[in-house]
Amino acid sequence: MENIKDKVVIITGASSGIGAETARKLSALGAKVVLAARREDQLKSLVSELGENAMYVVTDVTKSADLNHLVQQAINKFGHIDALFNNAGIMPLSFFDEGKIDEWDRMIDINIKGVLYGINAVLPHMLERGQGHILSTSSIAGIKTTPGIGVYSATKFAVRAIMETLREEVAKTIKVTTIYPGATRSELGHDITSPKIKAAFFNSSAPPSPKMDESAIANAVIYAISQSGNTNVNEIVLRPLGQT
């Protein structure tokens, strides 16, 4: 794959799922990857798997200071940043009448503020260099919504609005890509506490449609990052067969 080797890419949500798989694939193509998440054990073991062109920084994306620290650490080690993939996210789904305000707050903090803080941390560096690439993971839930996914969906619609506005603001110099995955195998949803969601989504008698592999989303990220010259891949939408 052209145009990936030696690129410095920060990935949030790199301790599992889509982020970890993206790190593996980018690293295999010769990129320098900076892994960010909260669970240090997972990050440490992924860095030892990937070798010297990988590093990790324990990061909580709800803290803007953590994102600033992450960007600075990446510059200290690799000299500059080519791309930031804002991918950390959670999905504790519930219905509105369950009133799970704490879970709404956590989704807003991680899924929206985490993206904003990432942009805020890296933008001055990219503007100064006159180049860079910011990617974020939205969702099919950022395009359409259904009962039980309201707040999660709102956060992913917000990601779309943020990224589209960012694209217009920095269109001359910085590439901006939003990824919209459908159902993908990962740990997402492990923190669902709503019995109504568990009953509606997981105890259905109909067999669930097969999910996509994380590598499908990683390949989409790599496609966007690998474009050379002025090609700016703005949006990629992926669904598994069977998902409407």
Binding site for ligand NDP (CB under 6 A): 12-19, 37-39, 59-62, 87-91, 110, 137, 139, 181, 183-184, 186-188
Q: Please report how close the Cβ of residue 186 comes to ligand NDP at its closest, in angstroms.
A: 3
Q: Which of 117, 152, 180, 223 is catalytic?
A: 152
- H or E segment to which residue 36 belongs: strand 32-37
SS (H, E, C) 138-180: CCHHHCCCCCCCHHHHHHHHHHHHHHHHHHHHCCCCEEEEEEE
152 flagged as catalytic:
yes
Q: Please report how close the Cβ of residue 172 comes to ligand NDP at its closest, in angstroms.
A: 28
Q: Please report how close the Cβ of residue 106 comes to ligand NDP at its closest, in angstroms.
A: 8
Closest listed residue to residue 32, CA positions, set 58, 2, 52, 57: 52
Closest listed residue to residue 43, CA positions, set 27, 59, 30, 31: 59
Cβ closer to ligand NDP: 4 or 37? Answer: 37
Give the length of the chain: 244
Q: Please report how close the Cβ of residue 155 comes to ligand NDP at its closest, in angstroms.
A: 8
CA distance 183 to 49: 27
Q: Please report how close the Cβ of residue 185 comes to ligand NDP at its closest, in angstroms.
A: 7
Query: Helices then strands (H, E): number in the chain?
Result: 8, 7
Please give the C-alpha separations between residue 23 and each of 35, 38, 157, 183, 222, in angstroms, as whole numbers: 8, 16, 25, 20, 10
Cβ closer to ligand NDP: 4 or 139? Answer: 139
Closest listed residue to residue 177, CA positions, set 44, 85, 64: 85
- H or E segment to which residue 8 belongs: strand 8-12
Paired residues of 162 in beta bridges: none
| Catalytic positions, written as ranges | 152
